[in-house]
Amino acid sequence: MSNYQQPPNWGQQPTQPGYGYPPPPGYPQPQPPKKPSAGKIIGLGCLGVVGLFVLIGIVAAIAGGGSGDTSDTSSKDKAVTATDKATTASKSTEKPAAPKPVEQKTQAEQFQACVAKSGTATERKAVKHVTKVTGADKSNDILDSAEVFTDYTGGLIGPHASDGKLIASAFASCYESKNGLVTVYDEKGEMLSNGNY
């Protein structure tokens, strides 16, 4: 018999760092691969759903854009066009009439006319002190803001604060918005009142 002994690692692969074997002592331990987190999976899923809706919207817009049928030109349309041209030719030989001047009322005058028509006696009396209105002609129902300027004095705690409330109430009766705010100011620009309209 022989005195030959098998080495302790006989039949095993040699250990080399970075190839799936444990690193030798003193080397940093490799981090195991991270599993995808639930938040990441949910976020990517939601992003996919949003992308799908955008794609459907684009396809619907393209499909809906070609619905105009321009091939339908009937003889009736041609007859109207010919008549219009003849009428225009006869009018061009006549002397053009002078345009009538159209009086454009200011926003303050329009507001005063509305209150004179449908307001109470105290509202009519208070609205006579209105000097300027801004923002009443612009309405988008998102964030409408109108300003009413008066010749009153005293601000919020002055003697005309109740008149400011009357003006704000009258404004809400004349103008309508889903999300409007009217602010009433005195002659110095101090706020008298405000309200929704």
pLDDT, tens digit (0-9, with 9 covering 90-100), for 100-124 = 565 688 999 999 999 999 999 999 9
The pLDDT of residue 86 is 52
The pLDDT of residue 165 is 94
Q: pLDDT under 50 in the chain at which residues?
A: 67-70, 73-74, 76-77, 79
The pLDDT of residue 172 is 93
The pLDDT of residue 122 is 94
The pLDDT of residue 20 is 60
Q: CA-to-CA distance for 42 and 85, rounded, in angstroms?
A: 65
The pLDDT of residue 105 is 87
Long-range pairs for 139-143: beta carbons < 8 A, 24 or more residues apart: 139/175, 139/177, 139/180, 141/177, 141/178, 141/179, 141/180, 142/179, 143/179, 143/181
Neighbours of 184 (CB within 10 A): 30
Containing 40, the helix (H) or strand (E) segment is helix 38-65
Q: How far is CA 103 from CA 51, 106, 110, 131, 148, in A?
A: 54, 10, 12, 18, 22
Please give the backbone phi and psi of residue 79, each rounded to the nearest 5 degrees, phi first.
Answer: -65, -40
Write out the two tokens for 104. Answer: 């454009």
Neighbours of 77 (CB within 10 A): 10
The pLDDT of residue 99 is 63
